[in-house]
Amino acid sequence: MRLDDDGLLAALHEGIFEQPLWHGFLEKLRARTGSLYTALAFRPIDEDAIIELHTGPATPPHLDRLFSEKYGQRDPLPYRNMREARIYTLDELLNPLDPVQRAYRDEFLHALGIINMRSVRVTEPSGVDAWLTCAGDRAIGSTVSALLTALVPHLRIALRSFVALERERFRSSVTSDAFGRLNFGWLTLDARCRIIDMTPHVEQLFQRTTVLRRGRYDRLTPASPEMDRKLTQLVKSYAAKDEGRPRAFNLSRDPWMDMLVTPIHNRFASPHSKPVAIAYLSGDRWSHADRCEQLADLFGLLPSEARLAWAIASGFSIQEAAIELGITVETARNYSKKVYAKTGARGQAELVRNILTSVLSIAGSP
């Protein structure tokens, strides 16, 4: 029989996407070898973080208690002393002079019906160790050894894929967390403005604002009909020309939210529609009134001073801020002098920087 006649290799490589990991592979290996138990243990980062996966009959409660009381979390066999890719039997792993290992065999393994086993150690280039084991009665012999030997290079590749996938998941998690703290997200759109993919923060945005929503047929739908028309025309132009300049839109001033839409030049494959545009969303989770209260708390500003400070941080000039707040330019200038003194800013640019880089920038972060 060839190595993959029963889909064993396919199950091994697909196992990194399963929960529990490699369950289908271990079940197929158990059926293929006639083992009572099959197990895959691996150490992803350090020796104190070994993950153990196994298939076979459930361990009786009294043996579970025995194992926990006498051996803690790990059995006493010297797996770390195994040479890579060499097949070991139970007798080779057991030290007959070690009373703990003998008791483990007699009181635990034999009680489970494990008289013999075959085990192999595989090391992935980044340093991840794994141990693949078939255990059961005396029928486990040279045929199983040959199968495990043949599986070694494939298991090494599967481990490498697992490590790469976990690294990408970690990086994605860190990036996603950073996006969340910056109140930033993105989504991709097809030619009909239907959402193909997006960051989790965009879904949260849909739930807390009425500015944008996921409409019928997963279409990105701005609340403003005029904005909807502009977005639709822009995305259609990207689809027709496969080019175009990015466009920025202000969706809301209170709370503040902007959107930058840009064409996707290197379009990737999609099981549904082709993405033609990516929309970057950035905004504030807090209202104008909330931000003014936070500024007042942070810098000891009066409410009127805080309103002016936030207007300046939002890009208004003194004259524009005065009109926005319904005060005279002279009053706005007087407020600004007090704001500069209390915030320690020596000018408008420094005031904006002090506000936007203060703890207010993460005040609504998860």
Q: What's the pLDDT tens digit per position in 320-363? A: 989 989 999 999 999 999 998 998 888 888 887 777 666 565 45
pLDDT of residue 262: 93
Q: Mean pLDDT over all residues of the chain?
A: 85
| CA–CA dist 17, 22 (Å, integer) | 8
Q: Give the contacts of 246 (CB within 8 A, at least 6 positions apart).
A: 260, 261, 262, 263
Residues 260-281 have pLDDT tens digits of 999 987 655 454 568 999 999 8
Does pLDDT of 138 surpass 50? yes
Indicate the DSSP class of residue 128: -
Q: State how far the alpha carbon of 313 is from the alpha carbons of 79, 137, 209, 277, 353, in Å.
A: 62, 75, 22, 30, 8
Closest C-alpha to 263, from 280, 242, 281, 248: 242
More confident site: 175 or 207? 207
Query: pLDDT confidence of 74, banded at 50, 70, 90?
Result: confident
Number of CB atoms found within 10 A of residue 47's CB = 9
Estimate the share of the chain in helix, then strand, then coil, as percent rounded to the nearest 5: 50, 20, 30
Residues 273-310 have pLDDT tens digits of 689 999 998 876 666 777 788 888 888 999 999 889 88
pLDDT of residue 331: 94
Bridge-based pairing state of the strands 247-253 and 51-55: unpaired
More confident site: 291 or 20? 20
What distance lies between CA 45 and its chain's CA centroid?
17
Does pLDDT of 147 surpass 80? yes
Task: Look up residue 183 and give its amino acid.
Answer: N
Query: pLDDT confidence of 43, banded at 50, 70, 90?
Result: confident
Residues 225-239 have pLDDT tens digits of 999 999 999 999 999
Lowest mean pLDDT of 33-37, 125-129, 245-249, name the range.
125-129
Query: pLDDT confidence of 181, banded at 50, 70, 90?
Result: low
Does pLDDT of 85 surpass 90? yes
| CA–CA dist 104, 54 (Å, integer) | 18
Residues 149-174 have pLDDT tens digits of 999 999 999 999 998 888 888 777 77
